[in-house]
Structure 1
Amino acid sequence: MNTTLKTVAGSAGHGKTAIEMKAISKVYGSAGNQTQALQHVDFSASYGQLIAVVGPSGSGKSTFLEIAGGLQPPTAGTLAIDGHPYQGLSAGKREELRLNSIGFVLQAYSLVPYLTVDEQFQLVRKVKRTPNLDQDTFARVLSRLGIDALLNKYPESLSGGQRQRVAIARSLYADPKIVLADEPTASLDSPRAFEVMEIFRDLAHSLDKTIVVVTHDTRLERYVDALYSITDGVMRRESISTKTEG
């Protein structure tokens, strides 16, 4: 089913900067045994955009995403999220910002094994203080992801692709202003992967969300508004030569 997710635009503000990274570097290890994961990265994402960061395994994609979402600090450089200088926030404010404004889709799925699919979503309602995605829109998300018939299933009875789709739905249900997705289509076949990107694009455009996808799959660039490549920790903005409306 390919129903567009139409709803009233959110209040984030179309075109307002959601993530701003300036001269971000990340070094792991100690002197004499160091690995530079990111090198002087400049990156900007606005509300209403779907952005892809493309690169091979080990290029620094996951490190970039974790720093962009405040999960780990950079070695050098500055990060602003939703207009707030992240390094200047207290630990409590950082946690609140991550909980209420940022959604993560991680490769490990991170589903609670003893909760059904529906209970995974109920847990979001218990934890998150701000409103979640409205039920009509979320029902369409579940249908388009093909998991609306899996609500009473436990993670152990799901395939890898189904678990990935549940993890994506759980992140979207929390209705974050910013979604950061690490290889969200890696476990999916091509039709499902393209469907996920269409959902991401619809939500970014109709709800003024910022959605950043890191991936090795260059086929996905046709769906995005901006494209970056990353190789050996060096990022650069790319043109989108194959962008289409479908």
Structure 2
Amino acid sequence: MPLETGLHATGLSRSYGAGAARVSALDDVNVHLHTGRLAAIVGPSGSGKSTLLNVLGGMDTPDAGHAALNGIAFTGMGSRKLTEFRRNHVGFVFQFYNLLPQLTALENVELARRLPSHHGVDVQTSAQLLDRVGLGDRADHFPQQLSGGQMQRVSIARALAKRPALLLCDEPTGALDSASGVEVMTLLIDIAREGLAVVAVVTHDPTIRDVADHVVEMRDGRVVADSHPPVS
């Protein structure tokens, strides 16, 4: 397969259970996500969004299909290689932050920054990353001293610490008030349009769909719509 930038997946299928209890979570899914554009993966609960995110992030293996990130095919990797792939190439942002409460904002970012970068070079310092997300003045604060929006921005800085080629966000505004949600989404849009990573957001939030550069709509394990609104 020739080297291609972005995340390209074809024919992804994933089911759970057996016999009458078998559930098809993904059914012949094709997605092509591009660097420089914020992609929103939307759909009702049970549509397959989270399963797709898990497969695209190398946290789950499909029953069938192929996926590659910047030309690196990862769906056929063994568990050890897949773990290395995630560590070196993928950043995750979760709904409930997953910050270590005994560490300051700076220390949470620094912990992730110590992991190897797939670029093989040093990247921004932890302090610079916190500045990047607007929290340079909160570096010595513990998570319990931060608002929900601030904690989510720390988690984004942490995800960026290894300069990932793929940034996957699972309901990043789901636990936030509307104002904090707008701040987080504005940050993710800026990161996407810097063109350094593929940025994909799994969400129920209709406002994210409205501002995304690429919308993938899922239902019953299938992609039912794939649109590219013009970038504003």
Common fold: TM-score over 0.5: yes
Give the Cα–Cα distance (whole angstroms) in 1 for the partners of residues 37 and 228 of structure 2.
14
C-alpha spacing 1:164/1:98, structure 2 compared with 1 (3 Å): same
Task: Say yes or no: does 1:177 pair with 2:165.
Answer: yes
Task: Say yes or no: does 1:232 pair with 2:220.
Answer: yes
Identity over aligned residues, as a percent? 36
After the TM superposition, list the runs of 4 or more consecutive aligned residues in structure 1 that deviate by more than 6 angstroms. Answer: none
Give the Cα–Cα distance (whole angstroms) in 2 for the partners of residues 17 and 83 of structure 1.
7
Give the Cα–Cα distance (whole angstroms) in 2 for the partners of residues 239 and 96 of structure 1.
32
Task: Say yes or no: does 1:138 pair with 2:136.
Answer: no
User: 1:74 maps to what in 2?
Assistant: 62
Deviation of 1:103 after TM superposition, in Å, equals: 0.4
Give the Cα–Cα distance (whole angstroms) in 2 for the partners of residues 97 and 127 of structure 1.
12
Give the Cα–Cα distance (whole angstroms) in 2 for the partners of residues 126 and 103 of structure 1.
14
User: 1:5 maps to what in 2?
Assistant: none
Task: Say yes or no: does 1:58 pair with 2:52.
Answer: no
User: 1:115 maps to what in 2?
Assistant: 103
Task: Say yes or no: does 1:209 pair with 2:197.
Answer: yes
> Which stretch has the larger CA shift, 41-50 or 124-133?
124-133
Give the Cα–Cα distance (whole angstroms) in 1 for the partners of residues 191 and 204 of structure 2.
22
C-alpha spacing 1:136/1:205, structure 2 compared with 1 (3 Å): farther
Residue identity matched to 1:74: P
SS in 1 for 2:175: coil
Count of matched residue positions in the alignment of Structure 1 and Structure 2: 227
Give the Cα–Cα distance (whole angstroms) in 2 for the partners of residues 194 and 160 of structure 1.
12
SS in 1 for 2:137: coil
Contact 1:222–1:240 (Cα < 8 Å) also in 2: no
Deviation of 1:216 after TM superposition, in Å, equals: 0.7
Residue identity matched to 1:81: L
SS in 1 for 2:45: coil
Contact 1:168–1:184 (Cα < 8 Å) also in 2: no
SS in 2 for 1:70: coil
User: 2:142 maps to what in 1?
Assistant: 154
Contact 2:95–2:175 (Cα < 8 Å) also in 1: no
TM-score by length of 2: 0.85
Deviation of 1:67 after TM superposition, in Å, equals: 0.3
Give the Cα–Cα distance (whole angstroms) in 2 for the partners of residues 75 and 205 of structure 1.
33
Contact 2:14–2:25 (Cα < 8 Å) also in 1: yes
Q: Which runs of 5+ in 1 are unaligned?
A: 1-14
SS in 2 for 1:127: coil
Residue identity matched to 1:179: L
Q: Which runs of 5+ in 2 are unaligned?
A: none
SS in 2 for 1:112: coil
TM-score by length of 1: 0.81
